[in-house]
Structure 1
Amino acid sequence: MNLRIIGLWMLCYLALTAAMYFDLGEQEEKCLIEDIPGDMLVTGYFLMEHWDGKNNFNSPHLGLTITVRDPNHDIIMKKRYGKFGKFTFTSHASGTHWLCMQSNSTKFSVFADARLRIHFDVQMGEHSIDPSAERHKHTVQNIEYSLEHLRDQIIYITRQQDFQREREETFRQISEETNGKVLWWAVVQTSILLSVGFWQIKRLKDFLIAKKLV
């Protein structure tokens, strides 16, 4: 009974935070791509239910396997969870991260050809919004928690700005290298055209001299 209450509570939280949702089939894997700054704590919440909204399956074998890969495609985290839960990891490098989810379901745990709906939300920062904070409304603890969350959001924005500056610097270097290569290619093309032109003029002159036309 407690698990059903927690699951319903998690569903309400994910709905209120405008979390995304998508469908997932048996043993199917889907990945989300997130640009994450380095040394950033990332927290994710998820909840599984039938696509038609009937959350009445109680198979202990039903759950999600979550795998997180860094920009070098190295696995940061891989863990199996139940039908709902929370996971955290810390990014070691700035760049694109892959958050992959694979269903543990089989035809023995869900109906054949059934689709699962995955509610999913990702937050960044040491003090992400925790659903349990609703229990402390109108209390000093809630105010302190909100201030900590605000401070972490400022840190997150600062790191995002640093990350964007790093990307801009990388793109600028790539653009300069590309422009340099284009310039040299234009010089080579011009040299080839001039060489071919002079060669054709010389050949034409030699032909006219040989025919005694000049």
Structure 2
Amino acid sequence: MLSRITKVAACALALSPLTGFAQETDRTWYLNVSLNSFGLDDTSTEESRVVESCSLGVTGCSSSTETTKYDTSFDSDNTLSLIGGYYAETVRVELEYTQVDSDLDTNSASEETLELNLLMVNVWKDFDLYGFKPYAGGSFGLGFAEQGDTDDEFVLARLGFGLNFDLIDRARLDIGYRLMYAEPDMVMEGSNREIVRDLRGGSFVIGLGYAF
């Protein structure tokens, strides 16, 4: 994880001399579209299924719960985020929506896709450092996860940092990294099964914003 963050920071610093910084105006509201290379960390999954068994000559059937544990890895997904933001001097407040589809790679028999819908409030602190415009901050929000016939709502938080580059008047390029933490032991429930796992991950971000 540390090596990925280092690569993003190095890339942003390498690009900074290539862009001129436009003079700040009285801009307050802005829209941003970001391309995210989103990846979830490998995790351990516990899955419980309700199994019914019926015997010949016996009236009725009985049910039992079978629990298995297996390791899960996730394919990365390149996805877009839609962001609306507001400048408040050196602090920016944003509302962001992202949808992620990640195929699961497990040692179980099932092959499914995990779909995440994330709605977050971001708060970023902007700095002016020797001509560079770095920022850092965090996010909190709600997510909806769906895998097969199971789903769950959960709370998540993120930490992030990056660099902004003014391209032309009112247009800005954003290069950054986000580290996501979902609530621990997230429980996804379906009609006859339950999936418990932790979700953590990160995303590289390249965004283009326009201020009004």
Query: Normalization by structure 1: what TM-score?
Result: 0.22
Which one has the largest radius of gyration? 1
User: Per residue, is there more strand in 1 or in 2?
Assistant: 2
Query: Normalization by structure 2: what TM-score?
Result: 0.22
User: Per residue, is there more helix in 1 or in 2?
Assistant: 1
